[in-house]
A and B are shown apart, each in its own frame.
Chain A
């Protein structure tokens, strides 16, 4: 029987990094404050002590430098796992990620690649972070061919998806839902395991409507589904887990069964990744849809501090949208 340890999402990330570094000495962790301090959230605790300063080190404070350096490391054959302290601060690295990492293999005809690159960044709201410690920038990266984008929603997923991301032959952006770093607790196998990228997880079977999300939003979706269940509405819940490339088949099958789809994310509505999913699903499930695809998202504003609660697409908004969709 597999041995498991009760741990939170943050510890699962740490455990995943530890597992990857123990299994392959080519795995290198780098980022701001990740050395002795173990990162501002402590995701890299004890890794420097265990694997030495050459394999786990502080970088100067430059996101573009971190991304570029990690791409170079990966091109050389190392497995580079770079941390960007907050997803809100990934933008100075945008050029390196979007123009370099994403196109490294394609532009060289596969003469060179930086597939050993994984960039981790805590993302999302719920911590009184205001404009610059709350953003969900996944859609920018989902618009970039050549990248993979992965977001876990619990401790078990965090370790398995992170290990798969680190070992994936393509560059992966791995966003971690920091609001539930400590709140999300579960049993995590001690052994080395991977959860396949590009595969969604059906968290709950249901027949009336499909609820789709990722990351911390799965908690709000779960709460809304419970409220709906009390009213006799049966929700199927899907955690997308990988946004690029996303698991179209699982979502299409579910929507063909339920006839309804609600997608929820914290990022703003306009240009959010739910728009891409909605377009694809209406194309594949048009004749089975009983109502327009619903989107419950953040507002099309920057992320405000004082109105954070109102801004967020919480369970009550999802619950209302479920009822409206059923009543359509």
Chain B
């Protein structure tokens, strides 16, 4: 099929910045609605759940960051500042929908019901970690919760999400896929391949580009020259919206509508959430080398959690004393589970050859035997933190 195009009679170029995408915003910082608009259809229970998941994620991140600094975890990475972008989208989807994340979406996993105990087992590489301790902290996954296991290489999940959603379309059960990635990952070849394939093959997938301003140290001004990620969706023929990622009502409204479109029309949708990575890229990073405290402070004033809290209080659905109680509850629960998880055993050595294939081939069984003999001879060389604890 050729593109139907009107004709022009002179070499008039369309400017690279001609397509400007507006940003959906419903909520002011003080919790009032923009221009007294109607809030999206959201029950008190749903609002409470969303808020609770955002607060939980913030506290989990603060506590685990501290645990990493204390040497109790090898690595950590926070979602701080982007809780509304993640919870607001995840909450709009059904439990049957697959989530394929990048790595900064622990809030979506919380939203799905991942327990504190499960978080701790993964972070500490315990025997009870669903991923068997093989991946770095924060690489969660759960088949039960339809949350695909995280992979560090960026953007690989984007074409996979297009394919997964195509399978869901063929299965005909009205489920779709929610796929997250960042503004940096959107520069990878896989992003372009994935969006184009989803559009051409009409996969029911909702892509969420978390535009948080930075890819490690690289600011978005050095990441792309156009108007963010959203216009690319339109370039691929995908329905697209940009939202204020720190505005929970805008994110939730857009995500609810996006899911409805993806499932009803069996096609992809792109949401770009404009936000800010308030923390470092990870515990291996120090943002003071590439951005100012003033800039961070400016964004801290737009904290998505405070904004939602102000709205909840205005609606008489929440108050400061309940807020404090909730925070204390999460603090205590996380600390308690961390301490318990630190006493749990690590995966057995024999696990090392499992899952390379469905059935370990002969050469791997031989390598394991030889390794076990060696480790038995030099036990002191191979003590793992947590060994011997039950």
- On A, residues with C-beta under 8 Å from B are 32-33, 35-38, 40, 58, 60-65, 88-89, 91-92, 128-133, 269-270, 299-302, 304-307, 309-311, 314, 316-317, 320
Closest CB pairs A-B (n = 8):
A306-B133, A132-B152, A37-B217, A60-B187, A61-B184, A306-B125, A130-B136, A128-B74
Judge whether B154 and A61 touch: CB under 8 Å: yes
Q: When the two chains form the complex, which single residue of B125, B136, B381 contacts A133, counting CB atoms closer than 8 Å?
A: B136
- On B, residues with C-beta under 8 Å from A are 74-75, 125, 132-136, 139, 151-154, 184-185, 187-190, 215-218, 222-224, 284-285, 289-290, 346-347, 349, 351-353, 356, 363-364, 367-368, 371, 374-375, 377-378, 381-382, 384
Query: Which B residue's beta carbon lies closest to that of A270?
Result: B363
Supplied contacts A65-B189, A304-B133, 18 more A-B pairs, CB within 8 Å: A32-B216, A33-B215, A37-B290, A40-B284, A60-B184, A61-B154, A61-B188, A61-B223, A64-B188, A65-B187, A128-B136, A269-B367, A270-B363, A305-B133, A307-B352, A307-B384, A310-B352, A320-B377
| A62-B352 contact given A32-B218, A35-B222, A306-B346, CB 8 Å threshold | no
Q: When the two chains form the complex, which single residue of B134, B135, B349, B374 contacts A316, counting CB atoms closer than 8 Å?
A: B374
Judge whether A60 and B224 touch: CB under 8 Å: yes
Judge whether A300 and B363 touch: CB under 8 Å: yes
| A305-B125 contact given A299-B352, A310-B349, CB 8 Å threshold | yes
Judge whether B216 and A300 touch: CB under 8 Å: no
- Alpha-carbon separation in the docked complex, A270 to B357 (Å): 15
Judge whether B216 and A37 touch: CB under 8 Å: yes
Interchain Cβ contacts under 8 Å between A and B, 19 examples: A88-B153, A92-B153, A128-B75, A130-B136, A130-B139, A130-B152, A132-B151, A132-B152, A301-B353, A301-B356, A304-B352, A305-B125, A305-B134, A306-B346, A306-B347, A310-B375, A311-B352, A314-B381, A316-B381
Residues of the A chain whose Cβ atoms lie less than 8 Å from the Cβ of B285: 40
Q: When the two chains form the complex, which single residue of A38, A62, A311, A316 contacts B187, counting CB atoms closer than 8 Å?
A: A62
A-B contact count (CB 8 A): 131
Judge whether A316 and B153 touch: CB under 8 Å: no
| A131-B134 contact given A302-B356, A306-B347, CB 8 Å threshold | yes
Judge whether A305 and B347 touch: CB under 8 Å: no
- Alpha-carbon separation in the docked complex, A133 to B135 (Å): 10
A7 CB to closest chain B CB, in angstroms?
21
Judge whether A309 and B152 touch: CB under 8 Å: no
Judge whether B185 and A61 touch: CB under 8 Å: yes
Judge whether A299 and B371 touch: CB under 8 Å: yes
Judge whether A300 and B356 touch: CB under 8 Å: yes
- Alpha-carbon separation in the docked complex, A316 to B382 (Å): 11
Residues of the B chain whose Cβ atoms lie less than 8 Å from the Cβ of A316: 374, 378, 381
| A58-B284 contact given A65-B189, A304-B133, A304-B352, CB 8 Å threshold | no
Residues of the A chain whose Cβ atoms lie less than 8 Å from the Cβ of B384: 306-307, 309
B372 CB to closest chain A CB, in angstroms?
9
Judge whether B152 and A310 touch: CB under 8 Å: no
Judge whether A299 and B353 touch: CB under 8 Å: yes
Judge whether B151 and A307 touch: CB under 8 Å: no
A307 CB to closest chain B CB, in angstroms?
5
- Alpha-carbon separation in the docked complex, A317 to B384 (Å): 18
Residues of the B chain whose Cβ atoms lie less than 8 Å from the Cβ of A300: 356, 363-364, 367
B248 CB to closest chain A CB, in angstroms?
28
Judge whether B153 and A89 touch: CB under 8 Å: yes
Residues of the A chain whose Cβ atoms lie less than 8 Å from the Cβ of B154: 61, 89
- Alpha-carbon separation in the docked complex, A40 to B280 (Å): 13
B306 CB to closest chain A CB, in angstroms?
30
- Alpha-carbon separation in the docked complex, A307 to B378 (Å): 15
Judge whether B289 and A133 touch: CB under 8 Å: no
Judge whether B189 and A133 touch: CB under 8 Å: no
A235 CB to closest chain B CB, in angstroms?
19
Residues of the A chain whose Cβ atoms lie less than 8 Å from the Cβ of B189: 62, 64-65, 92
Residues of the B chain whose Cβ atoms lie less than 8 Å from the Cβ of A89: 153-154
A92 CB to closest chain B CB, in angstroms?
6
B29 CB to closest chain A CB, in angstroms?
31
B188 CB to closest chain A CB, in angstroms?
5
Residues of the A chain whose Cβ atoms lie less than 8 Å from the Cβ of B381: 309, 314, 316
